[in-house]
Amino acid sequence: MLRREFLAVRNRLTADDVRESAAALAERALELPELARARTVAAYVSVESEPGTLALLDALRARGVRVLLPALLPDHDLDWGAYTGEGSLQRVQHGGKMALFEPAGERLGPDAVTAADVVLLPGLAVDARGMRLGRGGGSYDRVLARLERAGAHPALVVLLYDSEVVEHVPAEGHDRPVQAVVTPSGVRRFPQVA
């Protein structure tokens, strides 16, 4: 129900709204110290009315950052490939779900994400604790579990619209908080519980 509400608000955005927000989002994200220091960033290509990521991906590449993008596997886990510009993307339709833009080149394996200094996560909302509400497919739950098993501790950052930073979202035992949310108007950090 909550997911549908957030998606309904996104679906009312115009192409201009999404484009303007993407430029502001990239500008704010690039100010993050974590991204300034990062050598490898795991990210994703936004689709439909998601907060836009392409400007950010291109800016990171221009800085010399290695950008990894996910490719959805049949079991909903994620494989990874390198982003080398918009021409390195292919549109992939996954059953009845939305089409995704995935890296067209060599697959690096699901464990490639463990080399990331920062993981940019998609989501629908984040709350005051830093708990992220995803789309419900579980792909990023697998990624976060993989990072934990590998002892990898990249910065976890979610990219959202301003209205998607809320007081509370439901969380389950396996959910992990993010360190920060970037919206078109700024960055909010969350205290991490030891």
- Tell me if 26 sits within 8 A of 56, measured CB to CB: yes
pTM: 0.93
Residue 194: pLDDT band with limits 50, 70, 90: very low
pLDDT of 152-172, one tens digit each?
A: 999 999 999 999 999 999 888
Lowest mean pLDDT among 6-15, 94-103, 141-150, 173-182: 94-103
Residue 94 has a pLDDT of 82
pLDDT of 70-100, one tens digit each?
A: 999 999 899 999 999 988 999 998 877 778 9
Q: Which helix (H) or strand (E) holds 112?
A: none
Does 193 score more than 60 pLDDT? Answer: no
Tell me the two tokens of residue 130.
Answer: 């830093």
CA distances from 144 to 18, 47, 69 (A): 27, 22, 15
Q: Which helix (H) or strand (E) holds 27?
A: helix 15-29
- Tell me if 188 sits within 8 A of 181, measured CB to CB: yes
Q: Would strands 66-72 and 40-42 be described as parallel, antiparallel, or unpaired? A: parallel
pLDDT of 41-76, one tens digit each?
A: 999 999 889 999 999 999 999 999 999 999 999 998
Percent of the chain with pLDDT strictly greater than 90: 73
Q: What is the CATH number of domain 2-189?
A: 3.40.50.10420
Domain boundaries of the chain, sorted by first residue: 2-189
Strand stretches in the chain, DSSP E: 40-42, 66-72, 78-82, 89-93, 99-103, 118-121, 125-126, 132-133, 155-159, 180-183, 186-189
Q: Would strands 78-82 and 186-189 be described as parallel, antiparallel, or unpaired? A: unpaired
Residue 98 has a pLDDT of 72
